[in-house]
Amino acid sequence: MNRARRSTLALLAGSSAVQMSSNMVAALLAASVLGPHSRGLMVLGVSTAGIVPLLAGLGTGPQLRSAYPAAGGGARRRDLVASYTWWSAAATVSAAVLAVAVSALSAPLIDPALADPRYLLALSVLTCGYVAHTQLPDGWYAAGLFRSGSLWAMATTLGGGLGLLVAVTVAPSVWSLLLGQGTGMLTATTAQVVALRATGLLCFQAPTRRELSRLLGRGCRALGLTLGLALALRLDRYVLGALTGAAAVGVYSVASTLGQVPRMVPNAIGQLVNRDAAVASGPLRPVRTVAATAGVVTVVGAVTGLLGWLVVIPLLGPGFAAAGPLLVVLLVAEVAFVPYAVASRALLGAGRMGAVGAFGLAWSAAAMVLFLLAVQLWGEVGAAVACVAVYAGISASSWLLLTRRAAPRSARRRPGADRRRGLGGPSHADSADPRPEGAGDSPPRPAPLSPV
């Protein structure tokens, strides 16, 4: 790993750490102000606002990142960016409407407060912020501008945290905290849009129907993974809310937020793996990557578990005492999550949209069954245990899918290729797209995948 790559990885990890820290502080602050029940309502709103943009985006973010490096530097690339820009704008509106509908329909099942007009207004604003937080950074990452993408993602998260802090100071309530967080995210988003336009990564010219259809058609193949896995990873909140009430969601969410702190490491490494696969910079070596990542996650998780166990009750009170034991189980789940974080990014970057889409849908259905059974039997503890099972299952499945896709390519590579091209950054020869500018009608060149 060369110096530039280490620097990029450190920046991505630092940005992810800042975002995780901001989310953790915001979650603890909201929990201390609202209490278990109201905090549970807020968590359900944030979960809805985080999932719905994935559906509205229709997988266009992963498709942009896979197709952009091979699109050349002329009209094809501008048309691709224009298609992505206009679809992102449409997704902002549709996601807000869909989030309001989901919350209103959930109210009879979980809690009537989910249909309060003030709550729904705040939820729509927050959802718009999450659409921007989901779609815009992919523009930077598609172009390989990890520094800019990381800094802007961090700015959006910090903007949301600052808005939430203002709401806590002025008028602490569920809807005001959601509104404050969404307003802060959108404020940072406005500045990011200006920066993206200045670099040509947002373009409001009219896209061609052909390029827009290609973006949506191929992006939809990844929707099963992006949306399906988001559902699989957040269904625990909804099932808990439906079967045990919003207060249980509030306690569980504190443990879940703290438990996801180690995820900053695989998140950062996954961005590089995705880019490597998209530009075909060389055979990926996921075994080594996963082993190193799992080791770091274990260390970070141990520190997080110890600190979390010590501070939950002093900070939040005895009403959140059950979060401590739940945190330990959820930290185990994060270690089990590591292989998925690497394998799924490699598959998406290499353009395996259809395979990973079917994989995501299958696991969202399996997760629903597991969470329903586990929560019905053991409540919050059952949800945490089910998380371990779900995370281990999606990791094993994605790893199998990656190695099966890699095997045929590994057999076709020239002997000694692995020794000449490791997991380092792309060489000059690999970074250049050999196709002429107008040859962008074929699918993106897939990266060679090595099971080792």
Residue 222 scores a pLDDT above 60: yes
Give pLDDT tens digits for 337-380. 999 888 877 777 666 666 666 777 788 888 889 999 999 999 99
H-helix or E-strand spanning residue 400: helix 353-412
Residue 436 scores a pLDDT above 50: no
The one-character DSSP state at 413 is: S
Give yes or no for a contact between 395 and 339, defined as CB atoms under 8 angstroms apart: yes
Give pLDDT tens digits for 78-92. 899 999 999 999 999
Least confident of 43-52, 220-229, 270-279, 419-428: 419-428
Distance CA 187, CA 304 (A): 31
Average pLDDT over residues 125-131: 95
Distance CA 357, CA 235 (A): 18
Who has greater pLDDT, 125 or 61? 125
Phi, psi of 171 (to 5 degrees): -155, 85
Who has greater pLDDT, 406 or 302? 302
The predicted structure's pLDDT at residue 432: 35
Who has greater pLDDT, 221 or 2? 221
Taking the CA atoms of 110, 112, 118 and 121 in sequence, report the sign of the dihedral they define: positive
Average pLDDT over residues 440-445: 37
Given phi > 0 = left and psi -120 to 50 = alpha, else beta, which region is 406? alpha
| % of the chain residues with pLDDT over 90 | 35
Residue 282 scores a pLDDT above 60: no
The predicted structure's pLDDT at residue 280: 61
The predicted structure's pLDDT at residue 452: 30
Give buried/exposed letters for 122-131 (b at 16+ CB in 10 A, else e). bbbbbbbbbb
Most confident of 45-54, 113-122, 428-437: 113-122
Give yes or no for a contact between 292 and 335, defined as CB atoms under 8 angstroms apart: no
Least confident of 136-145, 237-246, 356-365: 356-365
The predicted structure's pLDDT at residue 129: 95
Distance CA 288, CA 27 (A): 34
Give yes or no for a contact between 253 and 40, defined as CB atoms under 8 angstroms apart: yes
The predicted structure's pLDDT at residue 313: 86
Average pLDDT over residues 381-402: 89
The predicted structure's pLDDT at residue 63: 87
The one-character DSSP state at 449 is: B
- Please measure the distance between the N-terminal and C-terminal CA atoms of the chain and give it in whole angstroms: 16
List, in order, residues 6 or more apart from 239 with CB less than 8 Å away. 368, 371, 372, 375, 383
Phi, psi of 425 (to 5 degrees): -70, 170
List, in order, residues 6 or more apart from 10 with CB less than 8 Å away. none
Residue 412 scores a pLDDT above 70: no
Average pLDDT, the chain: 81
| DSSP structure string for 283-320 | -B-HHHHHHHHHHHHHHHHHHHHHHHHHHHHHHH-GGG
User: Which of 254, 237, 387 has the alpha carbon at shortest distance from 319?
Assistant: 254
The predicted structure's pLDDT at residue 420: 38
Which residue type occupies 28? L
Average pLDDT over residues 311-317: 86
Average pLDDT over residues 405-421: 47
Q: Where are the beta strands (DSSP E) in 164-320?
A: none
Residue 424 scores a pLDDT above 70: no
Who has greater pLDDT, 34 or 220? 34
Residue 23 scores a pLDDT above 90: no
